[in-house]
């Protein structure tokens, strides 16, 4: 279905641009569709993740986790995250089914009581494990989640970019506004600035060290989120990312959570 | 840390923790020679091996508690020693395992597979390892599970030198059973569960030896001692959770039937709700508010403290680098409104491998017939420091 809407969108867009000068919203949506269409068909992947949380005073804590993701055609992706450090949370695992519209489905496995708990998912604005990343920042990119607008061209780190405003549709989002810098060569996001309800700058996300996988899919090794209000920051470094690892729907069954290691 | 990730890649894992725990009791114990304080140390580890591309797993989880005060609380257990084989649509496990069923927080009515390790804590959250063969099959219509439970574990109870025994010494060595097979009685259980949109549903059946002993039938009130009696039961259970937006709505209900006419068959239920405020008052704190109500058809004859009780609680997650958390709860009996239990659980990380856990349990009751009355003198504060290794 996504293929269809995407293809349809592009056809519409071509027609539209042939007939009249496109609006900035149309151009924004076209860029977003291009971003999404370049990221269809990747299948499944596994990776290790090192998350470093830094307070304003420079106190640091490192969280290590592993994640497994499965692409779901026509909806958001499925993701399983297993925590390795700090050791007191080792064995905790988190299962999430992202949805293009509405709330995600989320389960957490608590090893101390061997209990799988389904949790309320209107937590998208809440911090992911005390980090500067909110749950929504780590959720899969879906067209339906945003209103797009093309704001202009700008070069960043010597690369030609467009600035795309992507304002969350969901009123439960922690942001009212977000602007993304997207390169026009491969349609990859390099920077996002987030604004809060009072329209003041809240956070900046820098995404770097892109690598090409399966000759088609770009994935960034590094993400840095800085919170301008608190002075805190979080780095995410991805390691050993591999695709086509043989994951299937049954690996993301809530019954399998307690076996996840 | 890097080493353990490398080991994990080879399908091996090891980690564990040691906790030094100090309890301070607020009131005097009516029995002479019993201290105000209770020191203990707890050891827990997990060995893990995976092979066949992760299709086969072996988990070994030994547990030891050494208590300076109460020799009944000093105990060792195999929490888990279980092999599991994961097929595409099924899972088969055999060994000593742990299985949790249910959705509510204040009481765990439906959860019937594992015996409660009562000396660990009186909240019923700690469980003894249960020998089992467990088969589950899952497809689009849900998860179907069957259990064979070939050996029975007796509930642990504080000894004569311990606190929290309600002034009753339970003689575990002489436990009595309705079944002549005693601990060797083979129990069976089955469960169906499914997630349909916002609904999570579980329906279960259990037939065998009750995990909950009858402590009154063979009680010697003058001597202040009792022998636990474990009847045979058939229990039907339902646990349902609706997850919608910031709200959780939960129901657990059971119907427990006995073969022995000495016991009244009964129904019991807990219903509750949980509401989460994300970003409390513009902060990064998450606040979860809990309210639950428990009912038992046997009313005052109920063997649990939750026969007509309300529970309210609040869970505060600080979302800081140290994962600090605070949980506060109050259970109040609605029949004997002077009977209540209050608890506070707080935890934070002191260093990457060190956490501190603080717990307060306060019991209050002026009604001698209420089960909580027996714990009235045993309110305590507990401070634990836990060290993690791998």
Q: Domain holding B127: CATH number?
A: 2.40.160.100
Q: Tell me the shortest Cα–Cα distance from A63 to chain B, in angstroms.
A: 10
User: What Cα–Cα distance (Å) separates residue B157 from each residue in A112, B32, B123, B172, B173?
Assistant: 21, 19, 13, 8, 11
Q: Are A123 and B278 in contact (CB under 8 A)?
A: yes
B4 located within any domain: no
Task: Answer with the residue of higher pLDDT: B193 or A112.
Answer: B193
- The pLDDT assigned to A149 comes to 94
Residue A2 has pLDDT above 50, yes or no: no
Q: What span, in angstroms and rounded, lies between the C-alpha atoms of A37 and A161?
A: 18
For residue B230, name the pLDDT band (cuts at 50, 70, 90).
very high
Residue A75 has pLDDT above 50, yes or no: yes
For residue B122, name the pLDDT band (cuts at 50, 70, 90).
confident
Contacts of A95 in chain B (CB under 8 A): none
Q: Is the peptide bond before B150 cis (omega within 30 degrees of 0)?
A: no
pTM, to two decimals: 0.88
Contacts of B5 in chain A (CB under 8 A): 48, 64, 84
Stretch A212-220: mean pLDDT: 94
Q: Lowest-confidence range among A2-16, B64-78, B85-99?
A: A2-16
For residue A198, name the pLDDT band (cuts at 50, 70, 90).
confident
Task: Answer with the residue of higher pLDDT: A95 or A171.
Answer: A95
Whether residues B247 and A87 touch (CB distance < 8 A) is answered with: no
CATH number of A2-259: 2.50.20.10
Query: Domain residues for B201?
Result: 13-389
Closest residue in A to B283 (Cα) is: A126
User: What Cα–Cα distance (Å) separates residue B347 from each residue in B199, B278, B344, B358?
Assistant: 31, 20, 10, 6
**pLDDT tens-digit profile of B43-54?**
999 999 999 988
Q: Tell me the shortest Cα–Cα distance from A151 to chain B, in angstroms.
A: 30
- The pLDDT assigned to B29 comes to 67
Q: What span, in angstroms and rounded, lies between the C-alpha atoms of A248 and A230?
A: 40
B7 located within any domain: no
**pLDDT tens-digit profile of B310-346?**
999 999 999 888 999 999 999 988 888 888 899 999 9
Residue A202 has pLDDT above 80, yes or no: yes
Stretch A91-102: mean pLDDT: 88
- The pLDDT assigned to B246 comes to 87
Whether residues B352 and A130 touch (CB distance < 8 A) is answered with: no
Cβ count within 10 A of residue B40 = 21
Best mutation target among A171, A230, A255, A257 (most B Cβ atoms within 10 Å) is A255
- The pLDDT assigned to A9 comes to 55
Helix (H, G, I), strand (E, B) or coil at B351: strand
Nearest CB to A127: which of B5, B319, B355? B319
Q: Are B38 and B25 in contact (CB under 8 A)?
A: yes
Q: Which of B377, B370, B380 is nearest to B123 (CA)?
A: B380
For residue A196, name the pLDDT band (cuts at 50, 70, 90).
confident
B88 Cβ under 8 Å from any chain A Cβ: yes
B40 located within any domain: yes
Contacts of A59 in chain B (CB under 8 A): 321
Q: Lowest-confidence range among A48-57, A162-171, B29-38, B181-190?
A: B29-38
Running DSSP on this structure, what letter comes out for residue B160? T
Nearest CB to A126: which of B4, B48, B286? B286
Question: CB neighbours of B92 closer than 8 A, spacing ≥ 6?
Answer: B84, B85, B133, B134, B135
Question: CB neighbours of A186 closer than 8 A, spacing ≥ 6?
Answer: A38, A210, A218
Contacts of A259 in chain B (CB under 8 A): 57, 84, 86, 91
B319 Cβ under 8 Å from any chain A Cβ: yes
Residue A5 has pLDDT above 80, yes or no: no
Q: Are B179 and B141 in contact (CB under 8 A)?
A: no
B243 located within any domain: yes
Q: Tell me the shortest Cα–Cα distance from B377 to chain A, in angstroms.
A: 28
What are B273's strand-pairing partners? B249, B291
Residue A258 has pLDDT above 70, yes or no: yes
Residue A27 has pLDDT above 90, yes or no: yes
Stretch A169-175: mean pLDDT: 87
The domain total for chain B is: 1
**pLDDT tens-digit profile of B31-42?**
666 678 899 999
- The pLDDT assigned to B3 comes to 46
B369 Cβ under 8 Å from any chain A Cβ: no
Q: Checking DSSP bridges between strand B130-139 and strand B142-149, what pairing results, if any?
A: antiparallel
Q: What DSSP string describes A90-110?
A: TT-EEEEE--SSSPPEEEEEE
**pLDDT tens-digit profile of B200-213?**
999 999 999 999 99
B5 located within any domain: no
**pLDDT tens-digit profile of B253-299?**
999 999 999 999 999 999 999 999 888 887 889 999 999 999 999 87
Whether residues B276 and A127 touch (CB distance < 8 A) is answered with: no
């Amino acid at each position: 279905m996504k293929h269809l809407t995407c293809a349809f969108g592009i056809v519409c867009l071509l027609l539209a641009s042939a007939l009249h000068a496109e609006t900035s919203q149309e151009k924004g949506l076209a860029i977003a569709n291009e971003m999404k269409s370049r990221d269809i068909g990747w299948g499944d992947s596994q990776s290790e993740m090192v998350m470093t949380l830094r307070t304003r005073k420079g106190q640091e804590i490192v969280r290590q986790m592993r994640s497994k993701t499965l692409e779901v055609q026509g909806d958001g992706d499925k993701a399983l995250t297993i925590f390795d450090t700090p050791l007191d949370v080792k064995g905790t695992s988190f299962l999430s089914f992202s949805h293009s519209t509405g709330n995600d489905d989320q389960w957490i496995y608590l090893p101390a009581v061997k209990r799988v708990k389904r949790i309320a998912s209107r937590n998208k604005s809440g911090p992911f494990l005390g980090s500067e990343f909110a749950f929504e920042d780590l959720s899969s990119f879906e067209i339906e989640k945003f209103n797009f607008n093309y704001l202009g061209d700008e070069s960043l780190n010597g690369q030609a970019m467009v600035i795309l405003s992507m304002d969350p549709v969901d009123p439960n989002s922690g942001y009212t506004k977000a602007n993304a810098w997207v390169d026009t060569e491969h349609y990859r996001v390099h920077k996002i600035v987030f604004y809060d309800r009072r329209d003041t700058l809240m956070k900046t996300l820098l995404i770097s060290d892109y690598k090409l996988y399966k000759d088609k899919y770009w994935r960034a090794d590094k993400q840095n989120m800085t919170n301008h209000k608190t002075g805190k920051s979080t780095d995410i470094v991805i390691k050993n990312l591999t695709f086509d690892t043989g994951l299937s729907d049954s690996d993301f069954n809530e019954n399998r959570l307690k076996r996840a290691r | 840390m890097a080493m353990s990730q490398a080991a994990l890649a080879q399908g091996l894992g090891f980690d564990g923790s040691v906790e030094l725990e100090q309890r301070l009791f607020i009131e005097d114990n009516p029995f002479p020679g019993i201290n105000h304080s209770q020191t203990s140390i707890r050891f827990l580890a997990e060995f893990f091996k995976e092979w066949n591309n992760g299709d086969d797993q072996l988990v070994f989880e030994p547990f030891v508690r050494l208590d300076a005060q109460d020799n009944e609380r000093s105990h060792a257990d195999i929490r888990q020693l279980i092999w599991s084989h994961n097929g595409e649509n099924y899972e088969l496990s055999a060994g000593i395992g742990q299985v949790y069923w249910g959705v509510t927080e204040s009481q765990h009515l439906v959860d019937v597979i594992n015996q409660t390790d009562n000396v660990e804590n009186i909240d019923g959250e700690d469980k003894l390892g249960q020998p089992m063969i467990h088969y589950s099959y899952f497809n689009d219509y849900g998860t179907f599970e069957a259990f064979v439970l070939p050996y029975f574990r007796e509930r642990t109870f504080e000894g004569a030198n311990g606190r929290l025994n309600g002034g009753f010494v339970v003689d575990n060595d002489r436990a009595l059973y309705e079944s002549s097979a005693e601990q060797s009685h083979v129990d069976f259980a089955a469960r169906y569960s499914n997630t349909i949109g916002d609904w999570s549903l579980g329906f279960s059946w259990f037939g065998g030896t009750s995990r909950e002993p009858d402590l009154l039938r063979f009680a010697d009130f003058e001597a202040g001692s009792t022998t636990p009696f474990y009847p045979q039961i058939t229990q039907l259970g339902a646990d349902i959770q609706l997850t919608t937006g910031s709200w959780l709505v939960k129901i657990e209900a059971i119907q427990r039937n006995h073969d022995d006419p000495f016991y009244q068959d009964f129904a019991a239920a807990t219903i509750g709700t949980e509401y989460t405020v994300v970003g409390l008052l513009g902060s990064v704190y998450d606040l979860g508010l809990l309210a639950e109500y428990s009912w038992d058809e046997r009313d005052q004859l109920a063997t649990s403290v939750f026969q007509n009780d309300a529970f309210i609680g609040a869970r505060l997650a600080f979302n800081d680098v140290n994962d600090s958390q605070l949980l506060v709860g109050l259970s109040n009996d609605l029949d004997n409104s002077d009977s209540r239990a209050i608890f506070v659980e707080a935890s934070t990380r002191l260093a990457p491998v060190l956490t501190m856990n603080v717990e307060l349990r306060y019991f209050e009751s002026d009604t001698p017939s209420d089960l909580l009355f027996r714990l009235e003198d045993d309110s305590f504060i507990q401070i634990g420091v836990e060290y993690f290794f791998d």
